Amino acid sequence: MTRTTKDGIPTLGLGTFGRTGEEGTAAILTALEVGYRHIDTAQSYDTESSVGEALRRSGLPRSEVFITTKVADTNLEKADFMPSVERSLEIIGVDHVDLLLIHWPSAKDAVPFEDYMHALGQARDKGLARRIGVSNYPIADLQRAEQILGQGALSTNQIEIHPFLQAPKICAYARSVDLPLTAYMPLAKGRVSKEPILEKIAQKHGVTAAAIALAFLMAEGHIVIPASSDTQRLRDNFAANDVMLDEAEIAAIRALDRGDRMINPEKSPRWDD
Ligand SMILES: NC(=O)c1ccc[n+]([C@@H]2O[C@H](COP(=O)([O-])OP(=O)(O)OC[C@H]3O[C@@H](n4cnc5c(N)ncnc54)[C@H](OP(=O)(O)O)[C@@H]3O)[C@@H](O)[C@H]2O)c1
């Protein structure tokens, strides 16, 4: 049974990076059959059409599946922003998304920050998105966004978080302003599955090490969006919903943090930790 944040975001979703074409559609459809009700896509992943196709094939009502997409940093200019969102809706085949994120802040403010923040708010006000948020935002940019859009306007900040990169500074800040973080790459691209401490805790709970990593991140208050194309792994990951970790287990996993960032392109902002 998937829980949701107080804002209605299912805390365990499906990542779709790399799940393109017919194979991608099949993986997303399998995930919907397994029970996933939150799908994360982006303009730059080329998976928006697979998400729409899988949703239609599933026969599920639109209202039962939470869809997130992200505006690419190449579409932040005023003239490009809204048409790109409208195109995303057309590609997915829906009249709104449940959550619309800015994928990356414009590097060195090449596009004025205020302009695309206003456009994000307008997309929500026009009904193209039920909720809005950001991705890859450090604390300073979250504060700037809040000044422009108002406190509580953002529903999440999607950033890299996994047991090897727990990002304590931004987590503490997010907690202090009641902003849920979405942990992308929550399995560290599958590396968590070979971590001995996670494996040991997994044995005790009768689940996989990956499920323990996901259960830990949710216990820390995060939304998680693991990706897989494998039916068994989709099921194994979804089982994280039913895992309750005790304090000692949580403390042991907290100790795995080594600030190990895997995504750090040149356009990255200055990370907090
Ligand atoms: N906002 C951003 O800038 C940003 C950046 C990166 C990612 N994301 C989002 O976050 C999602 C998740 O990140 P990700 O897909 O890069 O990485 P991830 O979810 O951490 O790991 C996915 C990889 O792990 C494997 N895997 C999945 N379940 C497993 C299990 N139980 N045991 C062992 N291996 C397993 C998958 O292979 P198989 O398919 O073979 O199972 C896949 O190669 C993305 O799909 C995307 O939606 C966002």
Cα–Cα distance measured from residue 72 to residue 36, given in angstroms and rounded to the nearest whole number: 25
Q: Please, which residues have CB within 8 angstroms of residue 216's CB and are 6 or more apart in sequence?
A: 163, 245, 249, 250, 253
Is the pLDDT score of 1 beyond 80? Answer: no
Per-residue pLDDT averaged across 41-63, rounded? 98
CA nearest ligand 1 atom 27, residue: 228
Task: Write the pLDDT tens digit of every residue in 136-165.
Answer: 999 999 999 999 999 999 999 999 999 999
Per-residue pLDDT averaged across 214-237, rounded? 98
Residue-level pLDDT at 98: 98
Task: Write the pLDDT tens digit of every residue in 165-219.
Answer: 999 999 999 999 999 999 999 999 999 999 999 999 999 999 999 999 999 999 9
- Name the residue of 184, 193, 236, 267 whose CB sits within 8 Å of the most ligand 1 atoms, as the mutation to test its pocket: 184
Contact 68, 43 (CB under 8 A): no
What are the φ and ψ backbone dihedral angles of 47, each rounded to 5 degrees? -120, 0
Report how far apart, in Å, the C-alpha atoms of 264 and of each of 159, 160, 192 are.
11, 10, 19
Question: Which helix (H) or strand (E) segment is 97 a member of?
Answer: strand 97-102
Task: Tell me the pLDDT of the chain averaged across its residues.
Answer: 97
Per-residue pLDDT averaged across 79-83, rounded? 98
Share of the chain above pLDDT 70, in %: 100
24 C-alpha to center of ligand 1: Å? 13
Report how far apart, in Å, the C-alpha atoms of 148 and of each of 3, 118, 142, 208, 269 are.
30, 8, 10, 43, 19
Contact 143, 151 (CB under 8 A): no
Contact 69, 92 (CB under 8 A): yes
Share of the chain above pLDDT 90, in %: 99
Residue-level pLDDT at 227: 98
Could you identify the atom of ligand 1 that is nearest to the CA of residue 226? 19
149 C-alpha to center of ligand 1: Å? 31
- Name the residue of 189, 192, 231 whose CB sits within 8 Å of the most ligand 1 atoms, as the mutation to test its pocket: 189
DSSP single-letter state for residue 105: P
- Name the residue of 104, 228, 236 whose CB sits within 8 Å of the most ligand 1 atoms, as the mutation to test its pocket: 228
Is the pLDDT score of 60 beyond 80? Answer: yes
Q: Where are the domains of the chain?
A: 14-254
Contact 113, 99 (CB under 8 A): no
CA nearest ligand 1 atom 38, residue: 228
Is the pLDDT score of 64 beyond 80? Answer: yes
Is the pLDDT score of 134 beyond 80? Answer: yes
Cβ count within 10 A of residue 169? 12
CA nearest ligand 1 atom 43, residue: 189
Residue-level pLDDT at 2: 80
Is the pLDDT score of 273 beyond 90? Answer: no
Query: What six digits make up the tokens of 256?
Result: 């795995």
106 C-alpha to center of ligand 1: Å? 24
195 C-alpha to center of ligand 1: Å? 16
pTM of the model: 0.98
18 C-alpha to center of ligand 1: Å? 9
Cβ count within 10 A of residue 168? 12
236 C-alpha to center of ligand 1: Å? 14
Which residues contact ligand 1 via a Cβ below 6 A?
Answer: 15-17, 40, 103, 135-136, 158, 184-190, 193, 208, 210, 225-230, 233, 236-237, 263
Active site residues: 45
Q: Is CATH 3.20.20.100 correct for 14-254?
A: yes
Residue-level pLDDT at 116: 98
Residue-level pLDDT at 138: 98
